[in-house]
Structure 1
Amino acid sequence: MDDSHVGSVVITDGDEPTGIVTDRDLATRVLGEGMDPAETTAADVMSDDPTTVDETAGFYEATELMSEHGIRRLPVCNDSNELVGIITSDDLNELLADEHMQLSDVIRAQRPEY
């Protein structure tokens, strides 16, 4: 996670997600509980049966799932339940910022000059 600069890793069985390990899991479940990091496996600290979203889902469905389950990272799966990606709250915030920027450009373009 550190080498790849990511805050989570989805654990799979084949291509299907079975768990997720986040930086928070490592902080609270390994360091916070005094576990030996050298002897701790992903299975020891992962959240089982992660909530996922279909790759065809929209912004609102993803945010609703994240809100309902109190999560900041949402694995994305295809119709065969194979992991195809992950969407994070940071990704959604960036999308919203881009949308706001585009909206302000539209408003500026339609504003009469004085």
Structure 2
Amino acid sequence: MTIISEVMTRGVRTLQPHDQVKLAAKLMDELDVGSLPVCDAGKLVGIVTDRDLVVRGLARRSSVDQLEVQELMSSEVAYCLEKQTVEEALEYMGGDQLRRLPVLNEEKQLVGIVTLGDIASKEEQPETDETLAEISSDLPK
């Protein structure tokens, strides 16, 4: 059985709650990612996505110049633990239609992120294909 720490990506770039939204957008562009974890003293406190920036930010506000990440982020974040099995993470991802999960250690500190791509590139598991099918099946066409 493979555990999450064997397939996850370490050294994930994070934001702090008081960082400006412009920084979040710039980093997402530079890193070519659609979301960034938000941490305070190493603890995961939220996640901000490109969709949050557009829908909660641009679409609902006249100005985003001084807007902070904490005003747009989701504070209830699904995550997994680094010692969980890949199978457990895949089950969770499929059930909640998630393509990525922040990974925490036992002290609830962010230690990485795991994506379906990470798992698919390092594992030959039918569960990965099934999870991707579950996630994609309910997406709007």
TM-score (norm 2): 0.60
Alignment of 1:89-104 (within 5 A): 89-95=116-122, 99=124
Distance in 2, matches of 1:73 and 1:4, equals 15
C-alpha distance in structure 2 between counterparts of 1:92 and 1:37, whole Å:
36
Which residue pairs with 2:52 in the alignment? 25
- State the percentage of identical aligned residues: 37
Q: 2:76 — aligned with what?
A: 49
Matched, 1:6 2:29: no
Unaligned runs of 5+ in 1: 101-114
CA distance in 1, matches of 2:36, 2:95: 21
Whichever of the two has the greater Rg, that structure is: 1
CA RMSD of aligned residues (A): 2.0
Distance 2:61 2:120 in 1: 34
Correspondence for 2:134: none
**Is the contact between residue 76 and residue 85 of structure 1 (CA under 8 Å) also seen in structure 2?**
yes
Pairs aligned (count): 98
Residue identity matched to 1:78: N
Moved more, 40-49 or 2-11: 2-11
Matched letter for residue 37 of structure 1: V
Letter in 2 for 1:72: R
Secondary structure at the counterpart of residue 68 of structure 1: helix
Q: Distance in 1 between matches of 2:90 and 2:83?
A: 14
Q: Which segments of structure 1 move beyond 6 Å, counting only runs of 4 or more?
A: none
Structure (1/2) with the larger strand percentage:
1
Q: What residue number does 2:96 align with?
A: 69
1:84 aligns with 2:111: yes
- Find the counterpart in structure 2 of residue 109 from structure 1: none
Name the CA shift for 1:91/1:23 in 2 (closer, same or farther; >3 Å): farther
Residues 33 and 72 (structure 1), Cα distance of their counterparts in 2 relative to 1, 3 Å cut: farther
CA distance 1:36–1:72, shift in 2 (3 Å): farther
Please give the per-residue CA displacement for 1:33-68, whole angstroms capped at 9, x wherever unaligned: 245232221111111031110101122211222233
Do the aligned partners of 1:29 and 1:35 also contact (CA within 8 Å) in 2?
A: no
What letter corresponds to residue 11 of structure 1 in structure 2?
A: V
